[in-house]
A and B are shown apart, each in its own frame.
Chain A
Amino acid sequence: MALLEIRNLHAQIEDNQILRGLDLTVNPGEVHAIMGPNGSGKSTLSYVLAGKPDYEVTEGEALLDGQDLLDMDPDARAAAGVFLAFQYPIEIPGVATMTFLRTAINAQRKTRGEAELSTPDFLRLVKEKAGELGITQDMLRRGVNVGFSGGEKKRNEILQMALLQPKLCILDETDSGLDIDALKVVSDGVNALRSPERGMVVITHYQRLLNHIVPDVVHVMHKGRIVRTGGKELALELEASGYAAYGQDAA
């Protein structure tokens, strides 16, 4: 069974139709890249899958492991294994990153009927994963994303992903704002999470990221639909020729 099955998805926000009949199938173990011009609806897709309020699905369906995703509350989707690395991570002043991570892990465990992670286990886990991503203890003590640089915010997203071990990882422009070294660190973090059960949807504008996170499938999204699908060489082609071939009018 497919991990993620999206059929004919239509969604709108404030009466603006953004997704217009989108189909996408991600099997366990696969990494799919989605590219496409600004405003084509990539972030919208990620929000709709994660259940952001105000986005209204008008037609179509999205299944996770055959289960209707669109019917679930956002926190239930998270507990079911949907993770979104935000294009613009949100700041929560006064809430230590460490506290946030722990609350999130235990909230998901609770929803799944599992016991809370013990303090030593949690600390050990965070220390290990944070170390791999070059996230300092000082950052973990600071408010969630407060005073983090753009690159640090993105690394913090990947740290959360590594800790939460989701089934479906959606990465929305995780590469934007990263310097060359950070890109490598983050990519290594993402690659470490590749596994035969896990699926990934990687949204990006740049082929560069796909040199590090090599996708199984590349899609081109345009005006709210997938208009072309190919192998990893499709990204190279796009890099060379842009989106002109897709009737790109307002890039």
Chain B
Amino acid sequence: MPAVQETVDRVKSIDVDQYKYGFVTDIESEKAPKGLSEDTVRYISAKKGEPEWMLEWRLDAYRRWLTMEEPTWARVSYPKIDFQDYYYYSAPKSSGPKSIDEIDPEILATYEKLGIPLRERDILLGIEPQSGSRVAVDAVFDSVSVATTFKAELAKAGVIFCSISEAIREHPDLVRQYLGSVVPVTDNFYATLNSAVFSDGSFVYVPKGVRCPMELSTYFRINERNTGQFERTLLIADEGAYVSYLEGCTAPQRDENQLHAAVVELVALKDAEIKYSTVQNWYPGDKNGKGGIYNFVTKRGDCRGANSKISWTQVETGSAITWKYPSCILRGDGSQGEFYSIAISNGFQQVDSGTKMIHLGKNTSSRIISKGIAAGRSENTYRGQVTAHRRATNARNFTNCDSLLIGDKCGAHTVPYIEAKNASAVFEHEATTSKISEDQMFYCLQRGLSQEEAVALIVNGFVKDVLQHLPMEFAVEAQKLISVSLEGSVG
């Protein structure tokens, strides 16, 4: 039997049921009544003690959403979603203002299983990662941000890092100025839905000239049955500021499809730089394609000021359906956008992901490196758009998008849209599709590597160009995750 065939069979036999993060935390939670209506929106807003303007903003979004249609252009298929069949708000019952010590031990235990350094105290006592670098974590447990660590130290630098709910209460001016300014309320069906019912998320403001003293991180986790999770993240780097933000996601194993529709908005003012990294390993569904997360995400960064820079790096290994296009609006002259992506699909996963680079300013440049790996019966599509508007003199884009197939029941697709309205624009596009060759496998096996070690090694080599853009601690995690998701898919 050819080695790759064998690999494929092992993928099948080991299958995706072995989702490592599939455990459920048994805590009481408080939910909004099932379904979506103006009352749901009011309920959520009231629960969060929001000011009137926020409620109005949500209601406006809700009313617009009622008039919108679900998009169908992505290469994904799934049964029609019954939006009345979800809970739109779920919070651990014991929640409320708290110090870390008051957090439900069950929640802490969950985070421990996920390997998140939530307990600031422990970290400060010396249980730091070996590199000595530190990460401030804003953990989102279902809909409520449970704890924010390192707040005090960040405050010293003038950095605001808190849940979006808190920001709405404590920093209304900043929120009103920027919320919806990158992803307008009516941007798309899911973004509008999110605007109506977003439950929580992170808020970051880095003031002028400040280099954020540590990596900021959010860890998302969907726990409650049939809850949609709708985070809203807003990140602003003021002039000359720098921040690196890490987002990680897991969800327990469920038969039902859980809905997730996040919105992330990034604003980089003049000379500011934002690095946004995501590792997403939500439950992908079982070996028959049952269950798994539906992930419809709108992520967009606005390089609003001259010479600003936004860089997206993502490692996508989970979710039954991924619909996600982290994008950059290159508005400021000389601004730069980057998109580095690893998308692994296995089992029956469907990934439709990519980016948009919208060149508006002069001398703007963008770079796209996308690595798609398809195994099992999955479908993996890269969808990218690069446009230069009339004013965008000397716009530059380089796109490289490579696909790797494992087995012959999966598919990889590349859908690039390129449009230049300025004759001086230079766009380069490279694309390759390859398979792990039998000869490469045999070479590795002859040196003593097992099938799964060989596949993990070859795949890690394939994605190396992207991995090196992740912050160190994330890169190590991502590398492990790649092996795990291919184990769950390869053997």
Contacts and interface: CB of A to CB of B under 8 A. Distances in A.
Contact of B457 (A52, A75, A100): A100
A207 interface: no
A183 interface: no
A78 B448 contact: yes
Given A107-B448, A107-B453, A95 B460 contact: yes
A90 B449 contact: no
A92 B448 contact: no
B424 interface: no
B84 to A, nearest CB: 47
Give the residue among B438, B457, B460, B463 with the most A Cβ atoms within 10 A.
B457
Interface stretch (B1-9, B94-102, B229-237, B408-416): B1-9
Give the residue among A86, A89, A90, A93 with the most B Cβ atoms within 10 A.
A90
The size bracket of the interface on A is 20 to 34
A95 B450 contact: no
A83 B445 CA distance: 11
Contacts of A54: 2, 438
Contact of A107 (B438, B447, B460, B463): B447
Interface string B192-216: 0000000000000000000000000
A95 B446 contact: no
Contacts of B6: 53
A170 B278 CA distance: 46
A89 B443 contact: yes
A93 B437 CA distance: 12
Nearest to A143: B461
B461 A75 contact: no
B440 interface: yes
Interface string A166-179: 00000000000000
B440 A53 contact: no
Nearest to A101: B447
Nearest to B441: A53
A74 interface: yes
Interface string A133-145: 0000000000100
Give the residue among B437, B445, B458, B463 with the most A Cβ atoms within 10 A.
B445
Contacts of A79: 448
Contacts of B43: none
A73 B448 contact: no
Interface string B287-299: 0000000000000
A75 B450 contact: yes
A95 B448 CA distance: 16
A99 B467 CA distance: 15
Contacts of A74: 442, 445-446
B430 to A, nearest CB: 14
Contacts, number: 82
A92 B440 contact: yes
A53 B443 contact: no
B462 interface: yes
B407 to A, nearest CB: 15
Give the residue among B442, B446, B457, B458 with the most A Cβ atoms within 10 A.
B446
A111 interface: yes
Given A94-B465, A100-B457, A78 B446 contact: yes
A56 to B, nearest CB: 10
Contacts of B443: 86, 89-90, 92
Contacts of A52: 442
A103 B457 contact: yes
A101 B399 CA distance: 32
Contacts of B437: 90
Nearest to A89: B443
Contacts of B2: 53-54
The size bracket of the interface on B is 20 to 34
Contacts of B442: 50, 52-53, 74, 90
A104 B449 contact: yes
Interface string A66-95: 000000011101110001101001111111
A103 B1 CA distance: 25
A93 B461 contact: yes
B443 to A, nearest CB: 4
Given A92-B457, A95-B461, A53 B449 contact: no
B439 interface: yes
Interface string B422-452: 0000000000000001111011111111110
A108 interface: yes
B198 to A, nearest CB: 39
B460 A164 contact: no
A53 B462 contact: no
A78 B444 CA distance: 10
A40 interface: no
Interface in A149-187: 160, 164
A95 B445 contact: no
Contacts of A53: 1-3, 6, 438, 442
B464 interface: yes
A91 B436 CA distance: 11
Interface in B1-40: 1-3, 6
Contacts of B461: 92-95, 143
A90 B440 contact: yes
Contacts of A90: 437, 439-440, 442-443
Contacts of B439: 90
Contacts of A51: 445-446
Contacts of B449: 75, 103-104, 107
Contacts of B460: 94-95
A78 B437 CA distance: 20
A92 B6 CA distance: 20
26 contacts: A50-B442, A52-B442, A54-B2, A54-B438, A73-B445, A74-B445, A75-B449, A75-B451, A77-B446, A78-B446, A78-B447, A79-B448, A86-B446, A90-B437, A90-B440, A91-B440, A92-B457, A92-B458, A92-B461, A95-B457, A95-B464, A104-B444, A104-B447, A105-B448, A111-B448, A164-B448
Top 7 A-B residue pairs of the complex, sorted by shortest distance between their CB atoms: A94-B461, A95-B461, A108-B448, A104-B447, A78-B448, A74-B445, A90-B443
